[in-house]
């Protein structure tokens, strides 16, 4: 068994535990490479099916190609896809850079707040209708109690403190200092009313592992990750206004793998193209405590 197979098997085991233990379970799908690998792992775990809804938080500032790719895969893979959105903040233009708020506030409103309300069912959920290929307001407003998230430990400092199954309080907060123990493939699968559990099947994967796996399994990805001739590409995908490209010649998966293997980015944080991190004092810590992905 090689290292990718080892990672794959552990992730599948975690996904199956999540499915067996959480009746109100969903998976966050950001359309990025990590959560798409996670979605692929779900298809592996459940033999081609994805037996829970995928939740996308649509900030409305995502790069259009991402949304097109999302809807294409939803149809092809028969996904139960829904998105949530902070419609109030968008209507009031409390956004960056067009509104009167800074980046962190914008993230707080369009992502953290939108996510919290979508998960709890207070905010609207729009579900993909496979017959009409449009989104319809979902009638189900039950809160999700198990939320599968594609966080990786090596991505950014605070994520290395996560458990595979991490409890969140009723306010969606993360109590870093007081996490339950986790050993022998036994996870926190029980939770007090009102709280929920974040599940992290990709915790042990690195950026390189993700690309190696995408290459091996031939998982379709957004073309934004590749250089189309101008010597730049996205390394991490977010909202258009706050995500910068990196200088890179890599035109396809195998070239990205070579690039990572030779250590091109080993000294540059993966999310360095994501402007909100910098404003958060160099870490996502405070955003994450509040329930950010």
- Tell me: does residue 131 bind another protein (CB under 8 A): no
Among the candidate windows 108-116, 122-130, 131-139, 184-192, which touches another protein by CB under 8 A?
184-192
What count of Cα atoms within 13 Å lies in the side-chain half-sphere of residue 6? 6
- Tell me: does residue 231 bind another protein (CB under 8 A): no
User: Minimum distance between the CB of residue 212 and another protein, rounded to whole angstroms?
Assistant: 8
Nearer to another protein by Cβ, of 175 and 249: the residue is: 175
- Of 85, 67, 87, the C-alpha closest to 133 is 67
Q: Which of 24, 124, 138, 154 binds another protein (CB under 8 A)?
A: 154
Nearer to another protein by Cβ, of 137 and 184: the residue is: 184
In the shown chain, the binding pattern of residues 21 to 60 toward another protein, with x for contact by CB under 8 A and - for none, equals ----------------------xxxxxxx-x---------
Among the candidate windows 92-100, 102-110, 116-124, 181-189, which touches another protein by CB under 8 A?
181-189
Nearer to another protein by Cβ, of 12 and 293: the residue is: 12
- Tell me: does residue 78 bind another protein (CB under 8 A): yes
Instruction: Kindly report the three-state secondary structure assignment for every residue of the chain.
Output: CCHHHHHHHHHHHHHHHHHHHCCCEEEECCCCHHHHHHHHHHHHHCCCCCCCCEEEECCCCECHHHHHHHHHHHHHCCCCEEEECCHHHHHCCCCCCCCCCCHHHHHHHHHHHHHHHHHHCCCCEEEEECCCCEEEECCCCCCCCEEECCCCHHHCHHHHHCCCEEEECCCCCCCHHHCCCCECCECCCCCCCCCEEEECCCCCCCHHHHHHHHHHHCCCCCHHHCCCCCCEECCCCCEHHHECCEECCCCCHHHHHHHHHCCCCCCCCHHHHEHHHHHCCCCCHHHHHCCCC
In the shown chain, the binding pattern of residues 261 to 290 toward another protein, with x for contact by CB under 8 A and - for none, equals xxx--xx-x-----------x-x-x-----
- Tell me: does residue 135 bind another protein (CB under 8 A): no
Among the candidate windows 11-19, 56-64, 102-110, 248-256, which touches another protein by CB under 8 A?
11-19
Positions in the binding site for another protein (CB under 8 A): 1-3, 5-6, 8-10, 12-13, 16-17, 19-20, 43-49, 51, 78, 153-154, 157-158, 160-161, 163, 176-177, 179-186, 188, 190-192, 204, 206, 208, 212, 217, 260-263, 266-267, 269, 281, 283, 285
């Amino acid at each position: 068994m090689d290292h990718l197979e080892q990672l794959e098997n552990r992730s599948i085991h975690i996904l199956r535990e999540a499915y067996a233990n959480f009746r109100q379970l969903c998976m966050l799908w950001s359309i990025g490479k990590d959560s798409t690998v996670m979605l692929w792992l779900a298809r592996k775990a459940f033999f081609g099916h994805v037996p829970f809804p995928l939740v996308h938080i649509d900030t409305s500032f995502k790069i259009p190609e991402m949304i097109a790719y999302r809807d294409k895969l939803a149809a092809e893979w028969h996904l139960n896809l829904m998105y949530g959105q902070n419609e109030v903040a968008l209507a009031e233009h409390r956004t960056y850079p067009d509104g009167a708020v800074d980046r962190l506030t914008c993230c707080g409103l369009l992502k953290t707040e939108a996510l919290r309300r979508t998960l709890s069912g207070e905010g609207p959920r729009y579900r993909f209708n496979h017959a009409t290929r449009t989104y319809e307001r979902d009638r189900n407003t039950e809160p999700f109690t198990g939320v599968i998230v594609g966080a990786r430990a090596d991505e950014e400092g605070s994520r290395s403190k996560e458990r595979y199954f991490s409890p969140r309080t009723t306010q969606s907060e993360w109590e870093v200092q007081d996490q339950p123990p986790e050993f022998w493939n036994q996870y926190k699968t029980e939770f007090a009313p009102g709280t929920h559990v974040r599940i992290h099947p990709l915790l042990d994967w690195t950026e390189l592992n993700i690309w190696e796996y995408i290459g091996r399994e031939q998982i379709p990805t957004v073309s934004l990750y590749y250089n189309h001739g101008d010597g730049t590409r996205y390394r991490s995908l977010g909202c258009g206004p706050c995500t910068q490209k990196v200088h890179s010649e890599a035109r396809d998966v195998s070239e990205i793998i070579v690039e990572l293997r030779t250590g091109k980015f080993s000294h540059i944080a993966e999310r360095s193209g994501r402007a909100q991190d910098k404003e958060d004092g160099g870490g996502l810590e405070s955003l994450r405590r509040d329930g950010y992905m």
